Structure 1
Amino acid sequence: MEESDTTKYVIHAHISAEGVVERPDVVGAVFGQTEGLLGADLDLRELQKTGRIGRIEVNITSKYGKSSGNILIPSSLDKVETSILAAALETIDRVGPCISKISVTKIEDVRSSKRQQIIERAKHILTAMFDETVPESQELTEAVKSAVRVEEVTFIDNLPAGPDVLDSDAIIVVEGRADVLNLLRAGIKNAIAVEGTNVPQLVAELSKKKTVTVFTDSDRGGDLILKELLQVADVDYIARPPEGKSVEDLTQKEIIKALRSKVPVEQVVEVPQRRRNKQQMQQQEAARAEQNGKHEAQQREYQREYQRPERPERERGETPRRKSLRRMEERQERREPPKEQEQQPEARKPEPREAGEFAEIMKDLAGTLSAKLLDANKNVLQKVAVRDLANVLKETNGEVKSVVFDGVITQRMLDIAAEKNLEYLVGVKMGSIVKQPANVKVITTE
């Protein structure tokens, strides 16, 4: 069987048919009966064209009017997608005119097999090609091992974690132990795994004291873990790997790029109420500190005026104390009156016609953290992830007139929309807005 350099897994399946069938019949049934079953992203023909699925091998024989054999399908997809394809094979119930049954026997990890080959070959090289009489060999081996050894994963309340999680001011929350190991290989030592959707209390407590970046896979499981973390922990940033890849499979360069591209949580989803309360408390404390500082400055100024030596004003009937009080009153009168607190603009109530134009699009985008770019006729030009929306809009050439996205409308998004002369900006809710451009119509679904 031919295998591409990127093959990760091989699906092994057994087929039995109530009649005589041949290899072309089986291959045709595999492509035909799975077409459209799993959507465009997992269509076998498209996957084979792009090289993510290799050549399907079928070995089948017929005897006494019945046929049986094996099917081998090489895959370079990740574990989840490969498992879905394997399960789809078992839905095939007919090959040609014959009733048939396909059952998956195993999924072989090609990389594991290669690693076993490497181990066996390394044993042979070690025993046959190295001279054991060289006294420094063992010392050199230990020196090399210690130089390249990846630090072991530690455990905090039975959670896999890097050695710097408790001491660092920031932590990275990942899904499992394999993700923590991969980040350690890249030199990142402050990652901790939640090990499933039931987020431990330890992670919630750490999030109150540290800056938290959530780094989960770009799949359904990663989305569920992210949503739960947003409900029980104080999340500051969100980072995601490239589409179709898991955190445990990323290279060091890909890990660093993904973490550098992290976005504040406010740009993707609405900040939980407890986080807003925390920010409001911090703002109130800062305001009180500023007010106390002004009061202390006034007291110091008063003391300086009061302690100055007497001047000839006394001869004119004005004592140093009265002069000091008069100056303080004059300074108070010259001060500008405090500005009224700016009211945060509210999203314009959409007209029925406008709401109808975007309602169906928002319904399709609900829960996907995605955005659609529309032209002047409300035709979809492009669909992108919300985390990439700002960069994509900056590169548009004026054809985009409306943006509909599953996220919170922020001041940054409004500024970019005004700069690109957008007519409509449609989101879930309004974030913290200081000023709203007059040329952009803002519509929210809530």
Structure 2
Amino acid sequence: MSGASSGMRNDRWRGLGSGVRRAWGESHMTQSLLILFVLLCSWASTFAQRPPARVVTARVERARGAESRRFIGSVRPVRSVVLGSPVAEMVVEYLAEAGRPVKAGQPLARLRTTRLEIRLQEAQGELARRKAVLAELEAGSRPEEIAEGKALVAAAKAEEAYREWLLEQTRLRVARGAAPEEDQHLAAFNAASAHAARLQNEARLALLVEGPRKEVIEQARREVQIQESVIRGLTDDLERHVIRAPFDGYVTQEHTEEGAWLSLGAPVATLAAVGVMEVVAPVPEDQVHLASPGTTATVTFEALPGRTFDGKVFAVNPAGDPLARTFDVMIRLDNPILDDRPTILAGMTSRIAFRGAEDAEGFVVPKDALVLGGPAKLVYVVDAAKKPAIVRAVSVEVSSAVGSRVLVRGALRVGQAVVVEGNERLRPGQAVQVIETRKNDGAPKPSEGR
């Protein structure tokens, strides 16, 4: 009996403990929910009481076709050359001046030529001697020489006749025994010598009448030609010692000075032709199709405000930048020269717009309107219909940069106000106060909502 009574008491105590625990759990959850509700109300009240963020805005504009295809380029001369020394020699006169215009053939530097000039004088003297020999051969024998030859022949004939007569007389004396036989042999020798002398003089006379052989004259002509070639080589060597401008242009850099020793190939001056300039612009791969050879391009320069130049696409480099995914497009345009000064200078920054393609779709906003911190690029659009005005985030896709502005695509409308200052800490739905509205070109104008 007592055991049964004890068990009943234990069951009652266990039931009571379970009930207390359930009551405590429900009470604790209720308190947590109440605390969370109070915090939310406090946060909402604080946010509602926060003053509107002060922001600067700009208007969304429709992208124009030419503007949507505008790229940054650099200027260089179509033709530029570093002139090198063709010989190893000392500079005796340096005429190049950086920035000065020069004409084709104008001397830029002169090198020492003393030894060449001496060799040239020697060669010219030898040429004169060879020409005189040739002239003598071509002129043939003079009349006086022929007359002299004839006289020698006549004298030889007379001598031969006399020797023949003496031989005949000696034979008669030997036959009578009045002279020894040796006298006859001597007389015969003298007669034969006289005969040979006559033949020799007659042959000489024939040569004088005929003149020099054609082969001898041709040989003399060749000797003259060889010496003329030697002189031409020396003259060319002398000319090579004068470094001249190969074309009209401007000296852009000096590399030496008077008195300096130049080795073979050492730079003397840099010359550039600036009548036609080349603008090189890296174009993204998704837009390079707009710049085929022959396409018209409008080029402007930051250093020449208000001026526009038309050019043509000359070539597109088929080898692109593997990192930037761009391809160099070369545009050539005429460069006006005013008072010996080119209008477009090498190294200027240019902006190129290609024409002839369809207008691109999109909007233009200032670069400062982009919020880049999150996973997507955003702009904050001001909804002025709300009181106070609030902002909403619009995701955009950036197509290209146009100076201080960017071409974007997204759920925008022309004329909408986007935040360009104060957008770093904005949140969607946050109240704002527009303190200034700027033109889309970056120039400020008074705000209508101040």
Please confirm whether the aligned pair reaches a TM-score higher than 0.5, indicating the same fold.
Answer: no
Q: Which has the higher strand share?
A: 2
Q: Which has the higher helix share?
A: 1
Asked which structure has the greater RCO (Cα within 8 Å, sep 6+), the reply is 2
Query: TM-score, normalization: structure 1?
Result: 0.18
